[in-house]
Amino acid sequence: MNSLDELDKAAEDWTPEKAIEMVIANHFYSVEDLRVELDRLIQPVKDKLALLELGEGTTEPSKAIATTAAPKGQQALASLDDDEIDDPEDE
């Protein structure tokens, strides 16, 4: 579960009455204390937005390098017959 899902779950009980209660409860903080708390609460969102901005333009698919040789082990696998492959359902 990501942090947004956790936030949605935590906000399920949120009502206008609870909002009023929280405003009154936080009224006793100084403006500076409220700013510090707000900055602390929204920092994860700011961090995620910064990461998204860094990643813009990097979604272009990378180009594969064409090769003619089969990867190691693939030739051996291709040479096996169906009878030589262990099947758990057969046991």
* CA–CA gap between residue 9 and residue 21 (Å, rounded): 19
pTM: 0.34
Mean of pLDDT values over 42-50: 92
Among residues 29, 26, 9, 6, which one has the least CA distance to residue 18? 26
Contact (Cβ atoms closer than 8 angstroms) between residue 37 and residue 29: yes
* CA–CA gap between residue 69 and residue 2 (Å, rounded): 42
Contact (Cβ atoms closer than 8 angstroms) between residue 3 and residue 44: yes
Confidence (pLDDT) at 84: 54
Confidence (pLDDT) at 9: 85
Confidence (pLDDT) at 43: 94
